[in-house]
Each structure stands twice: as C-alpha cells, then as structure tokens.
Structure 1
Amino acid sequence: MSAPAPSAIESRLRALAARRILVLDGAMGTMIQRWKLDEAGYRGARFADWHRDLRGNNDLLSLSRPDIVSDIHLQYLRAGADIVETNTFSSTTIAQADYGMESLAYELNFESARLAAEACRTVEAEDPARPRFVAGAIGPTNRTASMSPDVNNPGFRAVSFDDLRAAYGEAARGLIEGGSHILLVETVFDTLNAKAALFAIEEAFEATGVRLPVMVSGTITDLSGRTLSGQTAEAFWYSVRHARPFSIGLNCALGAKEMRAHIADLARVADTLVCAYPNAGLPNEFGEYDESPEAMAALVGEFARSGLVNIVGGCCGTTPDHIAAVAAAVEGVAPRVVPEIEPRLRLSGLEPFIAAA
C-alpha cells in the first residue's frame, strides 16, 4: 500500500522542519506543581461533590481550572516553543478509571486541544510571522499489553489490544475534533500499546475525515538502553516504521546526557524526523529534577550541532526557562538531514517490501 498524501498541516510542518530545528514545549506536571493545588483546587466547582479523590489528576484541570492550563501553554509558546502538547497524558478511559472518570475521556481530549489551539492563536497574533502548532498528547496508559502485572501468572494481561484500541480511538477523536494539528503517541514503554494507538489513530482519521501528522516517542526506561518491553531504540523504530510517522524520538526517564547515545542510534537509522525531549537530568534522592536550563541547553545544543535532531523539547522537570534556553541553543543550527532509507535495508533488498507494506 502506498503512503497517503501528506495533509496541508504536515506539508507546512515539513517545510518548516527543513529550514530549522523545531522546538517542543516542556513539562506540564512540573508547572502544575508550582500551583500547589489541594483537593479542592483540583475539583473546582463542577466536581466539588465527586465521589473519589481527584488530587493529582492533572488532566482534569483542563475542565476544572482551564486558566491554569492556558497560562502554562502561553508561557511555553512565549518561551519559544513551536509546538505545545495538550494536557492529555492520562486522558484515556483506561487511565481515568483510577478516578472514576472514564465518561469524561472524550471531553478531556477535546477541551485540552481547544485550550492549546486557543493559546497558539493568541501567540500567533503577537508574532504573526511564526506559526504555532498543537500536538495532541496520547500517553501510554497505566497498563501494558505485553507483560503480566502478576509475577505468579506470567500469561495474565491487565488490558487487551482491543481495550487499548477503543480507549486510544476515543482520545484521538477528541484531540482531532478539538483542534490538534499533530497527534503525539508519547512515553511508549510497551510497543504493543503503541501499535494499538497507531491502529486506533488510523481508524480515527477515517472516521473524522481528517488526517494529521503523527509523532511517536518511546522511553528508554533505565541505563539498560531498552524500553520496558525490551527493545533498543533501533528495534523500536523498526517496529513502528510501518506507520510512517512524522517523527520518531525519545522522551522521559533519562536526562539529555543519558539519552544521547540512543538518539544517535535513531538518527542513524530513521528515515523520518528525529525528536528528543529529555528530562531535566536524572531525579535526585527526593525525586526532583535539578538540571539547570543552561546545563540542559548545552547538552541538547550538542545534539543539534552533531546533526542528530529535527525537533527538541523537554520532559519531566523542565520549565519555560529550560525551553527558552534550548530554543536559543538550537537557533541557527541546521536540522538533521533525513536519509531516504536506512542503507542496510537498501542493501539487503528489503526496501521494496517495506515500500509495499
């Protein structure tokens, strides 16, 4: 099957990415923590009588405190982000089940996308020469389709592919219809979960009649250099390459220093854009992130100067100050040149089979 024609949004993004390195925003949770919200702060008026505790449900703030979410988007955009992620990391029926809020999944995605799009329009009015984009964030959920949570029953699965497909499909439709320009399947620790998301996204495109570029970002969970489901960065790329993502990358778990080798592996083999948004270093003994904006920017700037990246940003612990420093570090640096196809595949004779897939 040949690749579908790129959408107008994707064509525009590719044109921009050919000229310069694009900048993604930073952490949402880190910024929300600054507000020191209590239980009532999360509930707001609408959910004042909810039957379960809601503190910590950051995604809910798109409904209960949209002013906070909008302000965070605006801070990142004014710091230099080209792309802001929606506040939807846990906005699936599966993840929201922890709060008894499965029925709000579509609304969470729709409203979060709407808020981010509104922030983009606000900042574009301030700086008309620079377009801004919304990446509809789709997190990994808190369940894995590849591994058992019960060490005494290794064949057990807490979630099925079809469960994930349904949950991701509802989230994707909300993000699309709320005004996202991109869909971002992020923090992938289980590739089977990601495949369910990619399948559901394709169904959502067909159902809505809208096709958006798709970014995919995995997470190398520790210094073993593998995802939780056991793949190296290179293996992860080959397992999702069939979806022809707009970008492939890594986020979370590692700081820029520890992520560098794995981003280099992706840059070597991926025939699409490469995205890196690391944490602000590794967590300290209190689980907090100490890496300064200047230190992180120096490391990410080296990624850029070495020709490894097309899109950069930040994950846990990063703030608008980090994004401003990263944006300055990559400004004027040529983006990574995307190869047509990984050379070993061409030499092995697999390219025709991949193209026909």
Structure 2
Amino acid sequence: MHKIEEELAKRILVIDGAMGTMIQRHKLEEEDYRGERFKDWHCDVKGNNDLLSITKPEVIIGIHLQYLEAGADIIETNTFSSTVIAQADYDMQAIAYEMNVASAQCARKAIEKYYQLHPEDTKPKFVAGAIGPLNKTLSLSPDVNNPGFRAVTFDEVVAAYTEQIKGLIEGGADTLLIETIFDTLNAKAAIYAIKQYYRNNPSNPPLGDEGGQEGLPIMISGTITDASGRTLSGQTLEAFYISVKHANPISIGLNCALGAQEMRGHIEELSSIAACYTSSYPNAGLPNAMGEYDEQPHETAHFIEEWANNGWVNIVGGCCGTTPDHIKHIAHGVRKIQPRPLPVLEAVL
C-alpha cells in the first residue's frame, strides 16, 4: 500500500488551491517569464505559467510553501499545460518534458523547505503530478461545420501524456493526478499512457500494492461544467465514473467550473457510487462579471466542512480563485472530522 493510501485511511487530506491565482499576485511581466535563457524567444511567453518552474522557480516554490504552511497535505505540480500539445501555443514543445521535471522538483524542494521550518510536523506531505485536460479534445470538433473533425488523434494525445508522465515521475511525483477532465476520452488517453509507461518501464520504481497495481497511485478529478450535471463531452457523473474506474484510481473526484455550493449535490452523488476515495476542490464560488472570484475563505470552508461531516469526502481543497487563506480555513474545518470510509463491496459470484 502506498503511503498516501495509508494516510487516506486515517484522515481527510487537504490538497492545495489555485496556482494561477497566486502567480497573478506576483504581477510578472514578459521578461520575468523569459528569464535569461529565453530572453530572445521569438514569440511572447507571458501567461505560460508552467515555464516559470524553469525561469522563476523561486516563485513556484514560494507558492507551494504558502499552501503547505496553510495546511495542505498534497501540493500539485505547476504542470497543467506541460505537454507538447499545449506548449505548441508558445512553440515550446521541445521543453515540455523539462517543464515537468522542473515543476516536480520545485514541489519537492518546497516540501523539504517546509520540514526544515517545521521539524515538529511528522505528517507526510505529497507531490501530485498534475496532468491537465489539454487544449484539444478527442470527443469534440472545433469546427461547428464539420462535427466529425478532430484537431488531434488518440495516439498524439497518448504520446503527449507519456512524455509528461515520464517527466513527472523522474522529477519526484508521489502520485499522478489526471484533473479538470471535461473530455473523458482525453482522460482515457492519459490512463492508457500511464499504464503503458509502466509496462514499458517495469524496473522504474516504485511498484504498487499487492493487488498488482503497478506504478504511482492514480488520482482522477472530473469537471461538471454547468447545471446540467454533465461533463462538456456529455457524460453524467455516474457515466464518467464508470468510464474511468477501470484505472483503479485511489481517488475519484470533481474540481473546477463550479463553486462549492453548486457542486454539493454532485459530491453527494459521487460519494454514494465510488468504490474508491473521493475528492473535491471547487472554485471560490462562481466568477463575477469581471471574471474574478469573490467567495471568502470562511464561506468555501463552511460548505466543505458540511460535506466532511456528512461523510462524503476524503480529499478536499480549492481550485480557481482559492488562496492559502481558503486552504487554511478548509484544513481547520476538517481537521477533526473522520474521513469517508471506503464502501464494503459485495463479492460477485
């Protein structure tokens, strides 16, 4: 059993909040993103947040450390767009692998620094290798006049994710988090890439549990996009869960798109059907007219504390608009609440 599974059996774990929100607070300019190495890059790179793990690692490490100080048990790598497909927007496909290694190392360094500052804290902290949804989908056409058209192939998505997975593992991730899933077929490509990577690299530690699960534990988090209760590619929550449970994830959950108030019913439903641990890290409410998030930390924490008291969740945290203050309130709210117990499944004869 992996260490993170041992901890999940004991307590509710807290995952961090938004990386982009915190990067915006630094008010970085084009030259900050470029650094010395990319000062002559032929196109603008401001907004390529994953690049900062290479050019401004102290910023990323500092953000991770703030979340750890707030009470996060799991910090996500700064790799939401660290694939050759997403990096094509900046013509930086060639350094996608390096971004993943650097980002995982930033997270590891933040944990090391945290323990140096807090030697009294004996609870383990984990690095989740963040695998984002991509900016191209396998289920939807970008051309309204040609619904059968796809901008990318399944094999191309698998290849992109495989490179990302390799970088995250070699950089020191403890678990792989396929997150913000709005297209389940993209998620399936990521799952396939993980399984294939370990088949092709059987000597690459660590190995999994006694049940034959090989490699790092997999966490999966989908996105319900609106009041319909469906993903963007049209699946209900139950259909989404059934579509990915073959990956044998340690957790299944929801993040992004909705605030906690709007996500509540979906988390209750997921808790009733999931055979694994459940996770939720909602946005800080819904965005206002300016695209900003106004929900205060105590408000977000109030909703999540109720879910915990109802026995619905095992991992909680925040997504867009959330800050270390949100995570601090969430961590405080759930610290004494028992985690959702894994359901006892009846044997199929």
In the superposition, the TM-score normalised over structure 2's length comes to: 0.94
Out of 3, 17, 36, the position equivalent to 1:26 is: 17
Out of 27, 45, 56, the position equivalent to 1:54 is: 45
Amino acid at match of 2:123: R
For 1:355, the equivalent position in structure 2 comes to: none
Alignment map for 1:158-237 (pairs within 5 Å):
158-208=151-201, 209-210=204-205, 211-237=215-241
Equivalents in 1 of 2:65, 2:200: separation in Å?
31
Equivalents in 1 of 2:95, 2:200: separation in Å?
20
Matched, 1:276 2:280: yes
Q: Give a deviation string over 1:191-211, Cα, whole Å, max 9, x none.
A: 000000000011222344231
Alignment check: 8 A CA contact 1:273 1:310 kept: yes
Q: Give a deviation string over 1:237-256, Cα, whole Å, max 9, x none.
A: 11000010010000000000
Matched, 1:112 2:98: no
Alignment check: 8 A CA contact 1:279 1:317 kept: yes
Out of 63, 68, 80, the position equivalent to 1:77 is: 68
Out of 157, 176, 185, the position equivalent to 2:150 is: 157
Unaligned runs of 5+ in 2: 206-214
Amino acid at match of 2:239: A
Residue 315 of structure 1 deviates from its aligned partner by 0.2
Amino acid at match of 2:174: H
Equivalents in 2 of 1:167, 1:42: separation in Å?
23
Out of 231, 250, 256, the position equivalent to 2:254 is: 250
Alignment check: 8 A CA contact 1:124 1:132 kept: no
Residue 130 of structure 1 deviates from its aligned partner by 1.3
Q: Give a deviation string over 1:289-343, Cα, whole Å, max 9, x none.
A: 00000000000100100100000010000000000000001011000011133x7
For 1:65, the equivalent position in structure 2 comes to: 56
SS state at 1:93 partner: coil
SS state at 1:196 partner: helix
Equivalents in 1 of 2:198, 2:76: separation in Å?
19
Residue 70 of structure 1 deviates from its aligned partner by 0.4
Amino acid at match of 2:100: N
Residue 19 of structure 1 deviates from its aligned partner by 1.2
Q: Percent identity?
A: 60
Q: Bigger shift: 253-262 or 37-46?
A: 37-46
SS state at 1:52 partner: coil
Equivalents in 1 of 2:5, 2:147: separation in Å?
44
Amino acid at match of 1:299: F
Alignment check: 8 A CA contact 1:124 1:131 kept: no
For 1:139, the equivalent position in structure 2 comes to: 132
Equivalents in 1 of 2:172, 2:197: separation in Å?
14
SS state at 2:85 partner: helix
SS state at 1:120 partner: helix
Q: Give a deviation string over 1:69-98, Cα, whole Å, max 9, x none.
A: 000000000110000000000000000000
The number of equivalent residue pairs is: 336
Alignment check: 8 A CA contact 1:124 1:130 kept: no
- Measured on the aligned residues, the alpha-carbon RMSD in Å equals 1.1
Equivalents in 2 of 1:313, 1:138: separation in Å?
17
Alignment check: 8 A CA contact 1:252 1:277 kept: yes
For 2:267, the equivalent position in structure 1 comes to: 263
SS state at 1:197 partner: helix
Equivalents in 2 of 1:135, 1:97: separation in Å?
24
For 1:3, the equivalent position in structure 2 comes to: none
Alignment check: 8 A CA contact 1:257 1:281 kept: yes
Q: Give a deviation string over 1:152-191, Cα, whole Å, max 9, x none.
A: 1111001111010000000000000000001000000000
Equivalents in 2 of 1:50, 1:89: separation in Å?
22
Alignment check: 8 A CA contact 1:92 1:167 kept: yes
Matched, 1:288 2:289: no
Unaligned runs of 5+ in 1: 1-5, 353-357
Residue 265 of structure 1 deviates from its aligned partner by 1.1
Matched, 1:336 2:329: no
SS state at 1:96 partner: helix
Equivalents in 2 of 1:58, 1:87: separation in Å?
8
Q: Bigger shift: 273-282 or 223-232?
A: 223-232
